[in-house]
Amino acid sequence: MIHVERGDAPDDFVRYAADYWEEFMGKSPRPSAWTKARKRKKMRDYARILFNAFQGKCALCESKMVHVSPAHIEHYRPKGDKRFVHLMFRWDNWLLSCSVCNTSKGDRFPECEGLPCLIDPTREEPSEHLEFVGVQAASKTVRGDETVRLVNLSRSELEDQRRTWLLLVDALLLLLKYLAICFQVFAYEEQLSHCEPQMNADERRRPVCRTHPRSSAVCESCFPRKNPGKLYLNFFNKPDRGFNIKFVRQ
């Protein structure tokens, strides 16, 4: 779960919402009226706007709709609860949800110390209440723990999706490291072309710059300093194989 900007309601939303309320709810509000209202063309248009605002992902579990189920307009404060029926056509009460989270949440809306237990990703920063340890959803607060339980963020399907993404990220990081090393090798080969190695009597050796042969240290114009956390060349005397170049990290 991440923070999402829902955006403002469409220009004509308030007018159509009032019309739908009058037509389908009347003087005796019924949650079942939602089934009829959502078939209207305007409602489908609003659902599409909501879909784009949430980038096609469930606001609660972040699953792509095309991967798990059709998109649902989820009422943060459930329309099936008599306390919140009047919020059925409120834009700021709508979330995009997959069918699994929608069904798991149902009409439950418990409170934790006077606040809704379920985190609203459009009004709050979920990272203050939730974190992920590997593929598992972990809670930082009581509300985070209740959110995991209400929409079942620990279900096996979600953990499989997270595992797949973590493997992809690891593969990309390895590729970047490989490319970085290739770049370092190329850069040092260019530097070595301007310097002539010179063997010392001891086991270790130090390259001496041909341009500045009297210098006891490596010429900084040819070899950069050993910066912490960066790759640098280490030279070792190999009597049977000449000398060896090794990349090490300081």
Model pLDDT for residues 18-61, shown as the tens digit of each residue: 888 887 766 555 656 787 788 888 888 898 899 999 988 999 98
The whole-number pLDDT of residue 167 equals: 84
Residue with tokens 């593929």: 135
The pTM of the whole model exceeds 0.75: no
**Interval 181-194: pLDDT, tens:** 877 777 766 665 65
Better-scored residue on pLDDT, 25 or 121:
121
Residue 70 has pLDDT above 50, yes or no: yes
Of 199, 225, 222, which Cα lies nearest the Cα of 209?
A: 222
CB of 107 closer than 8 Å to CB of 78: yes
Average pLDDT over residues 79-83: 87
- 121: confidence class by pLDDT, cuts 50, 70, 90: very high
Of 125, 136, 78, 121, which Cα lies nearest the Cα of 102?
A: 78
Residue 106 has pLDDT above 60, yes or no: yes
Better-scored residue on pLDDT, 217 or 90:
90
Residue 94 has pLDDT above 90, yes or no: yes
Better-scored residue on pLDDT, 208 or 18:
18
The whole-number pLDDT of residue 220 equals: 47
Other residues' Cβ atoms within 10 Å of the Cβ of residue 199: 12
Residue ranges per structural domain of the chain = 13-154, 181-249
Q: Provide the H-helix boundaries in the chain.
A: 13-20, 33-37, 41-53, 65-68, 99-105, 142-151, 156-192
Collapsing DSSP to helix, strand or coil, 191 comes out as helix
Mean pLDDT of the chain: 75
- 67: confidence class by pLDDT, cuts 50, 70, 90: low
The whole-number pLDDT of residue 75 equals: 92
DSSP one-letter code for 217: S
Average pLDDT over residues 145-157: 88
CB of 117 closer than 8 Å to CB of 141: no
Residue 157 has pLDDT above 70, yes or no: yes
Residue 232 has pLDDT above 50, yes or no: no
The whole-number pLDDT of residue 147 equals: 92
- CB neighbours of 71 closer than 8 A, spacing ≥ 6? 47, 50, 51, 56, 65, 96, 97, 98
- 235: confidence class by pLDDT, cuts 50, 70, 90: very low
- 241: confidence class by pLDDT, cuts 50, 70, 90: very low
The whole-number pLDDT of residue 146 equals: 92
The whole-number pLDDT of residue 79 equals: 87
| Nearest-angstrom CA–CA distance, 55 and 242 | 59
The whole-number pLDDT of residue 76 equals: 94
Residue 117 has pLDDT above 90, yes or no: yes
